[in-house]
Amino acid sequence: MELRHYLRILRKWLWLIILAGLIAGAASFYATSQMPNQYEATAKIMVGDSYQSLNPSTGQMATSSALAETYVQLVKTSLVLQGVIDELGLNTTPRALRLVVNANRIEGTQIIEIRVTDTNRERVALIANSVANQLSLLGPATSDAELVKRREFIQTQIDDLEGKIQGADQQIQELENSLDAATGVRETADKRAQLEQLRAQIASWQQQYTQYVNFITPQTPNRLSILEQAEKPTTPFAPNLFLNVGLAILVGILLAAAVGFLIEYLDDTVKTKEDVSRVLALSTIGEIGTLRGKGDKLVTASDPRSANAEAYRILRTNISFSAVDKPLRTIMVTSATSSEGKSITAANLAVTMAQAGYRTILIDCDLRKPSQQKIFGVSNDLGLTNCLLSHENLNNFARPTRTDNLRLLTSGPLPPNPAELLGSRSMNELLATLQKDSDILIMDCPPVLAVADASILSRVSDGVLLIINSGQTRRESAVRAKEALEQAGARVLGVVINRVARDHTNYAYSSKYFHDTSESGKGRANAPASETSS
């Protein structure tokens, strides 16, 4: 399927796509405007205190990360949520509060992020901070009240040790300076002994100092500390009017486009000349637009400057090019099924042939549902059946029309045996007589798949035009009609597509270009084949 085919489908269903987008956008705008504003507040908790250490332990960090996942699950428990309700005096239940509270561990860290959504921007921050507080109370490292007192005592010991160590360092410096000035052996030995004693004392104090420091700054993986308090939000995060409306319009457009493509995919009718070429392997020699209104269908006579009249003249020209190798004296016009516009096509084609100067006879060979008498507005009392049965003079039945060079032979009274009459010797003799008295015969025949009449007449015609109604003729019917004509030995000139949408045709030009200069050539008595050579 080519790109232009996709574009044609989109152009065809553009009205539905636009309508669906507008409806979806309007519905989304109304629904979004009715929604209350939603606010979000976030609090953060750190699990463990390895971040405070200059040389943190990898094992403690891994343990803290694992514990963080456990605390994330504890956030939505009734133990924590009921504590929040009691702390803030909320008129709700843990089940209802659970719907607005969410927690997750930030990937690659020991930080828990607590997010709360609510329609009240002040309450949402209070709830987030309360959840963080209730969760931190579950940590064992913060539940020992004696820990604070112990740390205060140890801090005094640390301060004392720092003073002692500094004083001992000064004594050592003084002894080292006096050692150089010592003269006696005994004096030197005493000072060296004092230095060793002071150094040993300093080492002992430093060991105690390290132990006190490690105690006062423990690296526990199960310690909870609030890193960031939730703040009152200034703007709502939802609903996002522009985002919702934009997404609704996009979804509406995509759904409408999908429906359009689905309909086209399920549609098995022939619509364009590309379909004709692909399905039937035939050329399209004419594309006729829809005839507006219920008035005169002979647009080639009543409105010769219209787009459809020009389309019929293009059809006439294309038929002339088909007659290069073999002159076309008898053209049969038929369709696969009924109501495809074959009779109107035959009538307008006959008018254009006559306007071009060809002596033309239009024969209504549809002896079951004739239409030409209605199109031309004449009586059907006498016609083809009378001519076949009575063998009278042809001029008594082929009546002139308002168009010069065009005569019409209607069907006449409907016989009980149409197929036998059309396949009789009298019919062959009649066609031979008519060919002597005209340049071209155009036969309006019944549909191919309805009865055998078209197959019978195709054997005595020089060429067959297969009429297809755009968007109505099914592919299977068109293929079967072509096969039936080929089995009968017919020469199919090509396909004429009726009721083609204006954007698929080339006839929609300005009316000043529709004038056919060939209409000025009157009195030509050659067959269409000669038009090609002129």
pLDDT at 344: 94
Closest C-alpha to 166, from 115, 200, 205: 205
Residue 287 pairs in a beta bridge with: 497
CA distance 108 to 99: 26
Which helix H or strand E contains 116, and what residues bound it? Answer: strand 111-118
Is 295 exposed, middle or buried, given 0-12, 13-18 or 19+ CB atoms closer than 10 A?
exposed
CA distances from 113 to 110, 116, 126, 374 (A): 10, 10, 15, 84
Residue owning tokens 């019978």: 456
Closest C-alpha to 218, from 282, 170, 300, 154: 154
pTM > 0.85: yes or no: no
The residue among 523 and 468 whose pLDDT is bigger is 468
Q: Of 93-102, 247-256, 387-396, give the lowest mean pLDDT range.
A: 387-396
pLDDT digits (tens, 9 = 90+) for 110-167: 899 999 999 998 999 999 999 999 988 887 654 455 666 767 777 888 888 888 888 8
Mean pLDDT of the chain: 84
pLDDT digits (tens, 9 = 90+) for 515-528: 444 344 333 333 34
| Orientation of helix 185-216 relative to helix 146-181, angle to 10° | 160
pLDDT at 531: 37
Beta strands in 301-439 (DSSP E): 330-335, 360-364, 399-400, 406-409
DSSP state of 423: T
pLDDT digits (tens, 9 = 90+) for 156-176: 888 888 888 888 888 888 777
pLDDT digits (tens, 9 = 90+) for 268-292: 889 888 889 989 999 999 999 888 7
